[in-house]
Amino acid sequence: MTHDDPTPPPSSSRPLLEICDLNLDFGTPRGRIHALRNVSLDVPAAQVVGIVGESGSGKSTLAYTVMGLLAENADVTAGSILFEGRDLLTMTAQGR
């Protein structure tokens, strides 16, 4: 007789999602708007993370950036977004 071991496998030391020193600007007719500055965040596997802040603080912009759903006038100027160790910013839309 066998039984399943209820103990989950050991988690990897690497987070599922790693955002490191992310900077994002929006180009406008009046110049550049700095929307995200030096944002860093690690999300471990099997964890829930909430992003909170005032209206206009960049919560949605951060989420859209991670999902690759940026407006045409958005420009990631620095940083990286790694999901399972792969850099999302260098991947094509199909690769995501």
Number of domains in the chain: 1
Angle in degrees, CA 13, 66, 42, rounded to 5: 25
* Percentage of residues of the chain with pLDDT beyond 90: 79
Flag whether 64 is in a domain: yes
Q: What is the mean pLDDT of residues 2-18?
A: 68
The domain of 69 spans 17-90
Alpha-carbon distance of 32 to 25, in angstroms, equals 6
Flag whether 32 is in a domain: yes
Convert the pLDDT of each residue in 23-48 to its tens digit: 999 999 999 999 999 999 999 999 99
Flag whether 5 is in a domain: no
Flag whether 96 is in a domain: no
On the question of pLDDT at 10 being above 60, the answer is: no
Flag whether 27 is in a domain: yes
- List, in sequence order, every residue forming a beta bridge with 31; answer none if it has no partner: 28
Residues 6+ apart with CB under 8 A from 14: 85
Flag whether 9 is in a domain: no
Q: How many CB atoms lie within 10 A of CB 24?
A: 22
This prediction has a pTM of: 0.81
